[in-house]
Structures are given as structure tokens and as C-alpha cells.
């Protein structure tokens, strides 16, 4: 028997085998494609958005309205946390005036420690992965006084939050905690990732964010008002734009191109986000040179 093209048609059994083989190859190709897409989407930025990261940032920032003063204790656009051997202690700083340039953290004031800097978006799944994997051990290092942690909340994923601007609202909520009760910042940061919504959803409501702050130990009622009024939303947009434009101080990179961006003593971490041993080895290398 032959087909319309005059070529022999294989027996039925062989045709079934060929169909299964074709299906297997299609599955493999699809899996490869999905794997490539996951890599391109690292930090929540697809290939198209990577090419247009600054454009997206301009849209996000432009929608925030006029510049407003920043929060207390985030003069570098991030909040710095140190330790006294037992407890985590925030570094207190003045609030930035509207349109004022951030004041870069001077690493020489932080002592002979691992100075860890993290730029993260609270909707970014890879940021959540890094926090889940490394958050506890970083907190331990900071409390022990062997590391400092500088958290920079930014909002590059507003376009994939179903119109709710969740990344901006979440980052602004952290800024509210930093402004009024900075000692609870790390707990709030962990809570935001522990309750991280999926991309392309509206995420948590402002009331949900207030509840997370309360669960993180916040007692000042001004924090709730700050969150529900999105007091620092415009500042988040400005800080995000500054991170995307650069320069990033005390770093081997010029600007932020994706999240999470993790620096240790100014060196970008290139390793796996889900391997705590690899991150610990990298931190050790930056401190000891070994």
C-alpha cells in the first residue's frame, strides 16, 4: 500500500511506533522550550522585557506621580541591617527629600563582615526562591555580626500583576515598616515572600499587607495608614528607576537588569538561587579570598 505521494505506507504496528516516537520527540522539544522560557523568565523578566527593561521601568515609574520624600532608614534606597552578636539591629538614616539623590552606604563603616546587598521584587518567583533557600542562614549571619544585609525592594513586575501594581504596593509596605519600626523589616521581608502571590494575579490587598505587618510584630498604627494610603509608592518608583539606570554603588555591575540581584562585598553572586551551600561558599570566598 502507498500514500498519495506514491511512498510505501508502513505496517499498522510500525505506524503506531512511529506515532509514539513522534509524540516523544514533541514532548522533549516542548520540555526544552519550557526550560528555555523559565531561564529567560528568571527574575520575572521575559526575553522581550529584558530588551525593553528600561521602557517598562519608565512606564511603571511614570505612573507613580510626582516625586515624594522617601522613608526613614532607607537613605541608600535600601535598609541596612546589622547585628550585635544576638539581635538584628537596623542602621538608622535620615529620609530622602523629594528628588534627592540616595546616599550610598559606606562599606568601610560596616566592619570586617560579609556585606550582602539584595535587590528584589516581591512578585519575582526567583527572588522568593532565593529567600526561601537563604533567608534563614543570612539572618543568622547578620544576628551574629558576621554579615550585614541591605534590602532594596524594587518594582519591575507591576505589568504582570493584573493591574494591581502589587510589586510597588508590597515594596512600599516594606518601606512603611522601615520608616516606623525598622526592627521588624526582616520579618516583614520574610512574610512577603512566604505569602508571595503568583505572577499575573492581583496579589495581596492593602489590608492583607497590613495583616502581614502586624504578624511581623508591627504595633505602630501609623504603619497601617502608611500601607493603605500607599505613602511610599512614588518613592518606590523612583528607587526602581535609579536601580535600573545605575550606577550601583560599590558594585561590579553598572545597573540592575533583573531580580534577584545579589551582591557580596560588591561582587555579583552568579550561582544557583536554590543552593544554600553554594551561596555560603561564595560569601566565604568574598570575605576570606579563599
Beta-strand runs (E) in the chain: 79-83, 88-90, 114-120, 147-153, 261-264, 267-268
Please state the separation of Cα 223 from the chain's center in Å: 22
- The dihedral of CA 35, 36, 42, 48: what is its sign? negative
Instruction: Determine which of 24-33, 47-56, 177-186, 251-260 has the lowest per-residue pLDDT on average.
Output: 47-56
24-74 pLDDT, tens digit each = 555 555 555 444 444 333 444 333 333 333 334 434 444 445 678 999 999
What is the pTM assigned to this prediction?
A: 0.79
Distance from C-alpha of 208 to C-alpha of 195, rounded to nearest angstrom: 10
Distance from C-alpha of 179 to C-alpha of 14, rounded to nearest angstrom: 71
Helix axes 185-194, 206-215, angle to 10 degrees: 130
Percent of the chain with pLDDT over 70: 77
Is 266 buried (19+), middle (13-18) or exposed (0-12) by CB count in 10 A? middle
* 154 pLDDT more than 90: yes
| Structure-block grid coordinates of residue 101 | 539623590
Distance from C-alpha of 136 to C-alpha of 16, rounded to nearest angstrom: 53
* 145 pLDDT more than 50: yes
Residues in the chain: 290
pLDDT for position 36: 43
Categorize the per-residue pLDDT at 18 as very low, low, confident or very high, splitting at 50, 70 and 90: low
201 touches 162 (CB < 8 A): yes
Residue with cell 539623590: 101
Residue with cell 547578620: 142
Nearest to 167 by CA among 211, 117, 127, 135: 127
* 157 pLDDT more than 50: yes
- For 2: left if phi > 0, alpha if psi spans -120 to 50, otherwise beta; the answer is beta
Question: What's the average model confidence in pLDDT over 9-37?
Answer: 51
123-133 pLDDT, tens digit each = 999 999 999 99
Question: What's the average model confidence in pLDDT over 191-203?
Answer: 98
215-229 pLDDT, tens digit each = 999 999 999 999 999
Percent of the chain with pLDDT over 90: 74
Q: What is the mean pLDDT of the chain?
A: 85
* 12 pLDDT more than 50: no
H, E, C per residue of 75-126: CCCCEEEEECCCCEEECCCCCCCCCCCCCCCCHHHCCCCEEEEEEECCCCHH
61-111 pLDDT, tens digit each = 444 456 789 999 999 999 999 999 999 999 999 999 998 999 999 999 998
Greater model confidence, 160 or 68 = 160
* 118 pLDDT more than 70: yes
Amino acid at each position: 500500500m502507498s500514500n498519495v505521494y506514491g511512498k510505501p505506507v508502513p505496517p499498522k504496528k510500525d505506524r503506531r511506533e512511529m506515532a509514539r516516537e513522534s509524540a516523544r520527540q514533541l514532548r522533549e522539544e516542548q520540555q526544552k522550550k519550557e526550560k528555555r522560557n523559565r531561564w529567560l523568565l528568571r527574575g520575572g523578566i521575559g526575553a522581550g522585557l529584558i530588551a525593553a527593561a528600561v521602557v517598562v521601568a519608565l512606564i511603571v515609574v511614570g505612573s507613580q506621580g510626582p516625586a515624594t520624600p522617601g522613608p526613614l532608614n532607607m537613605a541608600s534606597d535600601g535598609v541596612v541591617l546589622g547585628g550585635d552578636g544576638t539581635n538584628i539591629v537596623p542602621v538608622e538614616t535620615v529620609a530622602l527629600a523629594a528628588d534627592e539623590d540616595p546616599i550610598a552606604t559606606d562599606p568601610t563603616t560596616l566592619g570586617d563582615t560579609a556585606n550582602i546587598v539584595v535587590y528584589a521584587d516581591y512578585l519575582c518567583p526567583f527572588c522568593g526562591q532565593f529567600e526561601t533557600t537563604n533567608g534563614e542562614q543570612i539572618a543568622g549571619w547578620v544576628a551574629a555580626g558576621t554579615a550585614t544585609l541591605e534590602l532594596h525592594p524594587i518594582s519591575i513586575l507591576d505589568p504582570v500583576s493584573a493591574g494591581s501594581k502589587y510589586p510597588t504596593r508590597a515594596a512600599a509596605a516594606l518601606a512603611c515598616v522601615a520608616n516606623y519600626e525598622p526592627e521588624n523589616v526582616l520579618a516583614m521581608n520574610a512574610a512577603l515572600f512566604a505569602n508571595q502571590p503568583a505572577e499575573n494575579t492581583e496579589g495581596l490587598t492593602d489590608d492583607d499587607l497590613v495583616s502581614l505587618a502586624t504578624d511581623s510584630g508591627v504595633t505602630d498604627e501609623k504603619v497601617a495608614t502608611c500601607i493603605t494610603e500607599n505613602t511610599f509608592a512614588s518613592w518606590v518608583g523612583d528607587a526602581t528607576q535609579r536601580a535600573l539606570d545605575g550606577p550601583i554603588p560599590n558594585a561590579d555591575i553598572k545597573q540592575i537588569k533583573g531580580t534577584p540581584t545579589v551582591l557580596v562585598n560588591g561582587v555579583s553572586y552568579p550561582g544557583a538561587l536554590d543552593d544554600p551551600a553554594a551561596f555560603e561558599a561564595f560569601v566565604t570566598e568574598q570575605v576570606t579570598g579563599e
